[in-house]
A and B are shown apart, each in its own frame.
Chain A
């Protein structure tokens, strides 16, 4: 973890390094504050049966920026993430109140095609979950699903997606081998390629590096930094340094409520709320 930080600091000397409350450093990124809002949740409540998991979340997610969701386990950050592509729909007894809009369209509206929504809002999971198929078939799964059968087109999409997820050079000579033979970090980048292949605008990441070693984690973070230029990214993480490194905005969740939301810079150096500061500095609990 330290290695990656130092690289970032020494590699991008021109940019100012800011020491954060969590002990790590934060590098100045391109300004995204003037980007338009991509996702907006209004007074969002979520219930699992009788249990209320989210309490009136109101939040704006900027386009082409990285928004990190932090907070202790069970605070609702993953639940909130999963409301953004309606993955919670698959859980029996899950119920939602309030609205989530993407580009102004309420994704919980009655006319919304959930499958189409999930093409637009891709998701990367905590545990890498490639299909037990070849590397090629993994990436081609989505495009094939959505009706692309032309071999040349598929090959093009697969190559582009693997390049964008920075794994092409490692796998280009063995696209026909099983994805199960890749290392954990490679599998996770393959899963990102699989998401990119369906052409999403938003990518949700649920602790994408928590099961990976530090080197693979650094690669994923570097990839997030690249993807940020073209995609809106929302990432859940337990790693404070990671949140500080990769994100432009940070939201701190606690007990299903949004405690504080703002620019990562501010949250990590000068948070408004005492609870946020306690959590970030590790004095929590």
Chain B
């Protein structure tokens, strides 16, 4: 037994590296460098060409002179407003779905269908969401609402409400999956403890499970915001505008300013797209394009950083839970 593969001590001295092994070793290292260099190159180009454009005026002014000068404030405002509305719609829906999947669904057919739907939703190309938004939200839901409520053409047109709803459907899988993970990370013994004290299922979910899953749910929410903020295709037909002379703001009761969900809006990623393809002078606006890109990437980066900080904080907390 084992005689055939037994080694002598003399064979323990490492032979000179075989050429094939060395080659593969170098190859995987080079391949690993590619994503790093690609990211570095992109960041370098954007910061070098757009860094000079990002000034206080650029961040706070509206586009001027046929969008060849001035700033991008309406786009920043639009991006923030649309992602805020998106998360307000997507978070309750996503968390509710995840609670159903983790806490209530049995291993039946409906559970499997829901699971499959969530997974497939994550794989749908974003332009399809854009077309879905037009077809479902604007033409079907919006026009039907107008017809029923006799509001003329209020709901049945592209606006911030439907763009945010379309983005919400897009980020729904992100929220559902991360919330599911957070709920599953809460030990079963915690639920048992609460139930055994006479808590109902909902009391247990509300008082024990959700507080412990809070960190994971927030992380998912932030990641989905950063995903939503960078999307162009879903809002292309559902509400964003080439140029608007005013902010999409309405005065509630004539005094309190609030986001007008029935207005159209300008948005950062769409702004980059039109500046590059449909601008009056694409070369003249290059600094603006790079500057806008830098702002968009900066916002996404900050959001992801917040998510990472949340996650680390959350893990630390969970570390003390699972004694």
Contacts and interface: CB of A to CB of B under 8 A. Distances in A.
Nearest to A182: B323
A129 B195 contact: no
A184 to B, nearest CB: 8
Interface in A79-131: 85, 87, 90, 92, 115-119, 122-123, 125, 127-131
B321 A180 contact: yes
A135 B192 CA distance: 18
Interface string B93-120: 0000000000000110000000000000
B61 interface: no
Contact of A122 (B197, B200, B212): B197
B85 to A, nearest CB: 34
B197 A194 contact: yes
A118 B323 contact: no
A256 B194 CA distance: 28
B194 A141 contact: yes
Interface in B177-226: 187, 189-200, 203, 207-208, 212
| Interface SS majority for chain B | helix
B320 interface: yes
What bracket does the count of chain B residues touching chain A fall in?
20 to 34
Given A87-B192, A180-B323, A132 B317 contact: yes
Contacts of B189: 125, 127, 129
Contacts of B106: 92
A180 B192 contact: no
Interface string A51-71: 000000000000000000000
A145 B197 contact: yes
A191 interface: yes
Contact of B197 (A132, A180, A195): A195
Nearest to A119: B198
A157 interface: no
B187 A129 contact: yes
Contacts of A92: 106-107
A129 B107 contact: no
A142 B106 CA distance: 28
Contact of A132 (B107, B198, B203, B320): B320
B190 A129 contact: yes
Contacts of B317: 132
Contacts of B323: 128, 180, 184, 187
Interface residues of A, number: 30
A116 B198 contact: yes
Contact of A145 (B187, B207, B212): B207
A146 B195 contact: no
A118 B195 contact: yes
B196 A123 contact: yes
A167 interface: no
Most buried by A among B106, B107, B195: B195
Given A92-B106, A132-B320, A191 B193 contact: yes
A198 B198 contact: yes
Contacts of A184: 323
A250 B190 CA distance: 30
A142 B196 CA distance: 10
Contacts of A269: none
Given A92-B106, A125-B189, A125-B193, A142 B198 contact: yes
B195 A145 contact: no
A178 interface: yes
Given A130-B193, A194-B193, 7 more contacts: A87-B195, A90-B192, A131-B190, A132-B321, A141-B194, A180-B323, A198-B198
Interface of A: 85, 87, 90, 92, 115-119, 122-123, 125, 127-132, 141-142, 145-146, 178, 180, 184, 187, 191, 194-195, 198
Closest A-B pairs by Cβ, 9 of them: A119-B198, A123-B196, A129-B189, A142-B197, A118-B198, A180-B320, A129-B193, A132-B321, A115-B198
15 contacts: A90-B192, A116-B198, A118-B198, A119-B198, A123-B192, A128-B323, A129-B189, A141-B197, A145-B198, A145-B199, A178-B320, A180-B321, A184-B323, A194-B193, A198-B198
